[in-house]
C-alpha cells in the first residue's frame, strides 16, 4: 500500500499543530517537519523528494510550506516549483501562518454576502482591512485582485508599510496604506467604506460600534478573532450573514467560527487535492481562494 508522505518546510522553529492535524485528517500517513529551511535550501530538499519515487506517484508525496513570513513562503513556493524536473513532480501547498486559507475563506464569505444581499461581489466596493499581518496582507491582495478599492489599515507603530508594499507589488495590485492608530484615524479610514474586515491580533477590540456608526452605507463586516473580546463590537462568534443594526441601518455580520469552519474545510480539502489531482498540484493563495469560493457556493 502506498504511503502518503508530507514534508513540512518551515523557516522558523516550530511547526503548527493545526497544520499537522489538518494533514493527518486529510489522509497523509507520515508528516515530517523540517524547521529552519530557507528559500535557498528548498530546491535540494524538493529534488530529494521527487526523485525518491517514479513520476506517476506524484499524488503520494506533498510539500507544505509553513512559517509566519509571507515573503519567505512566496519565495520558497517559487523555488519549489522551479525544482521540478520534467515528469518528476510532487504537489506543493503554501499556507504560512494559515494566512492563505484564512484570507481565502474571509473573502469567499464576504463575496457571498454581497452577492446575496446587494446583487454583486467585491468589484467596485471599498474595503477596509484592519490588521497588516500575514492574513491582512493576503486579504488585502485578494480583495484588490477581485476589483475592490482596498485600504490596509495600520494599527500599531510597528506595522511596516514597506513590507506591505513589497507583497502587493509581488501580485501587481494597488492597495492603499492608511493609519488607524487612534480613534479619529479609524473613523477617517472607515469613511465611505462598504466592507470592513478585521484580521488583527486575537483578543483585542479593534473597532467599537461608535466607529462603525460613522459609516453611511456599511454592507458587510467580518472578524477572524475567536479570542474574547471580539475584534469588532456587535459581532457574534457564530454570525453568518447575520443582520446587525447600526445607525445607518443594517449590515451583514460574519463571525470567526463561520470563517474558521470554511478555513478548516479549505485546508483539509487542499491537502486531499494534492493526493487526488490529475497532475501535480501547486497551491498558492489564489488557488486557495478559488477552492474556498467553491465550498461557499455549496452552502445553503
At the fourth CATH level, the homologous superfamily of domain 99-258 is NAD(P)-binding Rossmann-like Domain (3.40.50.720)
Q: Do the domains 99-258 and 5-94 match in fold? A: yes
Q: What mean pLDDT value characterizes the chain?
A: 95
Q: What's the N-to-C CA distance of the chain in angstroms?
A: 38
**Cβ atoms of residues 128 and 98 within 8 Å:** no
What was the pLDDT predicted at 72? 94
Q: Specify the pairing of strand 240-246 against strand 30-34.
A: unpaired
pLDDT band at 201 (very low <50, low <70, confident <90, very high): confident
Choice among 19-23, 92-96, 162-166, 291-295 with the minimum mean pLDDT: 162-166
CATH of 5-94, one of 3.20.20.10, 2.60.120.10, 3.40.50.261, 3.40.50.10280: 3.40.50.10280
Q: How many whole angstroms separate alpha carbon 75 and alpha carbon 77? A: 5
Name the more confident of 126 and 202: 126
Choice among 72-76, 126-130, 225-229 with the minimum mean pLDDT: 225-229
pTM of the model: 0.94
Q: How many whole angstroms separate alpha carbon 199 and alpha carbon 137? A: 9
What was the pLDDT predicted at 160? 87
pLDDT band at 203 (very low <50, low <70, confident <90, very high): confident
pLDDT band at 1 (very low <50, low <70, confident <90, very high): low
249-266: per-residue pLDDT in tens? 999 999 999 999 999 999
Q: Give me the sheet containing 282-283, strands edge to edge.
A: 30-34, 5-9, 61-65, 91-94, 282-283
38-63: per-residue pLDDT in tens? 999 999 999 999 999 999 999 999 99
Mean predicted confidence (pLDDT) in 201-211: 91
Per-domain residue ranges of the chain: 5-94, 99-258
Amino acid at each position: 500500500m502506498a504511503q502518503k508522505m508530507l514534508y513540512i518546510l518551515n523557516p522558523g522553529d516550530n511547526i503548527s499543530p493545526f497544520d499537522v492535524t489538518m494533514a493527518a485528517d486529510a489522509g497523509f500517513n507520515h508528516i515530517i517537519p523540517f524547521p529552519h529551511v530557507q528559500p535557498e535550501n528548498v530546491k535540494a530538499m524538493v529534488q530529494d523528494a521527487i526523485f525518491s519515487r517514479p513520476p506517476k506517484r506524484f499524488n503520494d508525496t506533498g510539500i507544505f510550506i509553513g512559517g509566519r513570513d509571507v515573503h519567505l513562503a512566496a519565495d520558497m513556493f517559487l523555488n519549489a516549483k522551479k525544482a521540478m524536473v520534467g515528469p518528476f513532480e510532487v504537489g506543493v501547498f503554501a499556507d504560512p501562518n494559515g494566512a492563505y486559507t484564512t484570507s481565502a475563506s474571509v473573502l469567499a464569505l464576504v463575496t457571498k454576502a454581497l452577492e446575496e444581499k446587494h446583487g454583486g461581489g467585491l468589484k467596485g466596493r471599498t474595503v477596509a482591512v484592519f490588521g497588516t499581518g500575514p492574513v491582512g496582507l493576503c486579504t488585502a491582495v485578494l480583495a484588490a485582485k477581485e476589483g475592490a478599492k482596498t485600504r490596509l489599515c495600520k494599527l500599531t507603530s510597528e506595522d511596516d508599510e514597506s513590507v506591505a508594499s513589497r507583497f502587493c507589488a509581488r501580485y501587481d495590485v494597488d492597495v492603499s496604506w492608511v493609519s488607524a492608530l487612534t480613534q479619529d484615524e479609524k473613523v477617517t479610514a472607515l469613511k465611505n467604506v462598504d466592507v470592513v474586515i478585521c484580521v488583527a491580533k486575537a483578543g483585542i477590540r479593534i473597532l467599537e460600534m461608535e466607529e462603525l456608526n460613522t459609516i453611511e452605507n456599511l454592507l458587510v463586516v467580518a472578524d477572524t478573532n475567536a479570542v474574547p473580546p471580539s475584534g469588532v463590537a456587535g459581532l457574534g462568534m457564530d454570525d453568518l450573514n447575520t443582520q446587525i443594526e447600526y445607525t445607518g441601518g443594517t449590515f451583514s455580520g460574519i463571525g470567526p467560527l463561520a470563517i474558521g469552519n470554511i478555513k478548516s474545510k479549505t485546508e483539509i480539502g487542499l491537502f486531499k487535492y494534492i493526493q487526488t489531482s490529475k497532475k501535480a498540484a501547486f497551491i498558492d493563495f489564489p488557488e486557495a481562494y478559488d477552492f474556498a469560493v467553491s465550498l461557499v457556493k455549496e452552502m445553503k
